[in-house]
Amino acid sequence: MSVFRKSLVAAACFVVTSGLAWAQQGGATYEPSVGQAGKDVVWVPTSQTLVDKMLDMAGVTAQDRLVDLGSGDGRMVITAAKRGAKARGIEYNPDMVALSKRLAAAEGMADKVQLEQGDIFESNFSDATVVTLFLLPQLNLRLRPTLLEMKPGTRIMSNSFDMGDWTPDESFVVKEGCSGHCNALKWTVPAKVGGTWKLGDQQLVLTQTYQKIEGSLNSGGKGAFISDTKLTGPNIQFTAAGQRYVGVVDGNTIRGTVNGKDWVATR
């Protein structure tokens, strides 16, 4: 993956050797240098150890479509493809795209990956089930509205940098095989559940901030606040009046079970 801010390039020089090793595998036509300028950022490679961890946390399988935004030398895309995923990289620097294609060919993966030159803010990657990135916080924030509109359940993996007040579901710091920028952050795009739902003769009123939800289940002018809430992609859980509701959100319908019985809510 790519990118980092110029002011931190000096602190990242420890990765020069690993970055050039990847470049040399692709031939001598072009070798990137850590800290080289890009469109919005500078380039710093992600350690292979962290690449593996990010893919592990995302649970990448052959059923996934992964897109790496700012794909750099292509190592994330190539590694995902080796796991059977349909893997695509979008990189602005045409020299890096050419390098990543050479590296893919050297790994015998040329026909298994899609590596393209493009602007991540103008590209359509709405069909992806996993999005990986190593971008600056302000770029993550620019992308956040687009990411939140993706299909609920889409996994977002970032190297080191957050999404502002959208807190990650999970994070992990790799301590072996990585000397810097070793924090993997994971988000799961939540379903949109805010609003008033009709659940039989009751009203389920939900407020939502990203994957965090609050609300009440009301009937006959009386209500009970919900507790122990959880929203992971399209999957929702909450407790109301001592009963545990588990369901799956599909647009304006939630279907699930409570105490072994089916329940349906519509909005």
Residue type, 45: P
Q: What is the pTM of this model?
A: 0.85
Question: In the chain, what are the helix, strand and coil shares in percent, each to the nearest 5?
Answer: 25, 35, 40
Reported confidence tier of residue 9, pLDDT bands at 50, 70, 90: very low
Tell me the sheet residues that pair with 145: none
List the chain domain ranges. 6-188, 195-266
The pLDDT, as a whole number, for residue 125 is 98
Given a contact cutoff of 8 angstroms between Cβ atoms, the answer to whether 234 and 250 are in contact is yes
CATH of region 6-188: 3.40.50.150
If we measure between CA atoms, which residue out of 173, 179, 137 comes closest to residue 5? 137
pLDDT at 35 exceeding the cut of 70: no
In DSSP notation, 27-81 reads -SS----TT-B-SSSB--PPPHHHHHHHHHHHT--TT-EEEEES-TTSHHHHHHH
What mean pLDDT is reported for the chain? 88
The pLDDT, as a whole number, for residue 23 is 43
Element (H, E) at 257: strand 253-258
Measured CA to CA, the distance from residue 211 to residue 231 in angstroms comes to 5
Reported confidence tier of residue 1, pLDDT bands at 50, 70, 90: low
Higher pLDDT, 44 or 117: 117
Supply 154's token pair.
Answer: 């889409």
Kindly state the average pLDDT of the residues 221-230. 92
Percent of the chain exceeding pLDDT 90 equals: 78
Supply 261's token pair.
Answer: 């019985």
Kindly state the average pLDDT of the residues 53-72. 97
CA angle at residue 139 from 53 to 21, to 5 degrees?
45
Question: Of 38-52, 63-77, 160-174, where does mean pLDDT reach its minimum?
Answer: 38-52
Helices 48-58, 75-82: inter-axial angle, 10-degree rounding? 50
Question: Of 9-13, 32-36, 52-56, 223-227, where does mean pLDDT reach its minimum?
Answer: 9-13
Question: Of 44-48, 77-81, 132-136, 200-204, where does mean pLDDT reach its minimum?
Answer: 44-48
